[in-house]
């Protein structure tokens, strides 16, 4: 590999990273897109960077498709990290509710319950001893 090709790729990656950082601050962090869709687009562009040299000798098209792949891959990693943070925050704010006790009167058989005839306790049920 030539040093000139290496420097061109390095400058391209730095440029794509700077472009991604600015776009992430202003636009990409506000867009809610399925992270797997972003990864699928990145895979399409990496496959395009492998197929394009077979049809043309233009290195610029290959480098552009590699740069677009790098951009979408960075976006996928950032979306994945944000999703994990959201899941972690959702788990920590979960409220634990006490288990509801079943109605104890329903557990008794009708033979064990005596209805009282007292006026003050009319309709209340007591358990036989």
Q: Average the pLDDT over each of 13-17, 21-25, 109-113 and give the range with the smallest value.
A: 109-113
Q: What is the pLDDT of residues 94-121, one digit of tens each?
A: 677 777 666 655 565 666 666 655 555 5
Whole-angstrom distance, CA of residue 12 vs CA of residue 63? 8
Length of the chain: 129
Whole-angstrom distance, CA of residue 16 vs CA of residue 39? 17
By the 8 A CB rule, do 49 and 65 touch? yes
Give the global pTM. Answer: 0.63
Contacts of 124 (CB under 8 A, 6+ apart): 116
- Nearest Cα neighbor of 76 from 48, 37, 25 is 37
Q: What is the pLDDT of residues 38-54, one digit of tens each?
A: 999 999 999 988 888 88
Higher-pLDDT residue of 74, 113: 74
Looking at the DSSP bridge assignments, the partners of residue 114 are 126
Helix (H, G, I), strand (E, B) or coil at 113: strand
- pLDDT tier for residue 69 given thresholds of 50, 70 and 90: very high
Q: pLDDT value at position 89?
A: 72
Whole-angstrom distance, CA of residue 25 vs CA of residue 22? 5
Q: What is the mean pLDDT of residues 12-23?
A: 92
Q: pLDDT value at position 62?
A: 86
Tokens of 96: 């634990």
By the 8 A CB rule, do 62 and 49 touch? yes
Higher-pLDDT residue of 69, 118: 69
């Amino acid at each position: 590999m030539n040093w000139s090709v290496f420097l061109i790729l390095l400058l391209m990656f730095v440029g794509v990273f700077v472009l991604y950082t600015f776009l992430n601050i202003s636009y990409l962090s506000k867009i809610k897109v399925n992270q797997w869709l972003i990864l699928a687009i990145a895979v399409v562009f990496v496959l395009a960077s492998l197929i394009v040299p077979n049809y043309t000798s233009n290195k610029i098209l290959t480098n552009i498709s590699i740069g677009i792949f790098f951009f979408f891959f960075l976006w996928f990693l950032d979306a994945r990290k944000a999703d994990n943070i959201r899941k972690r925050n959702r788990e920590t704010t979960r409220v634990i509710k006490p288990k509801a006790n079943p109605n104890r009167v329903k557990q008794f058989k009708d033979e064990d319950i005596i209805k009282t005839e007292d006026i003050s306790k009319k309709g209340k049920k007591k358990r036989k001893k």
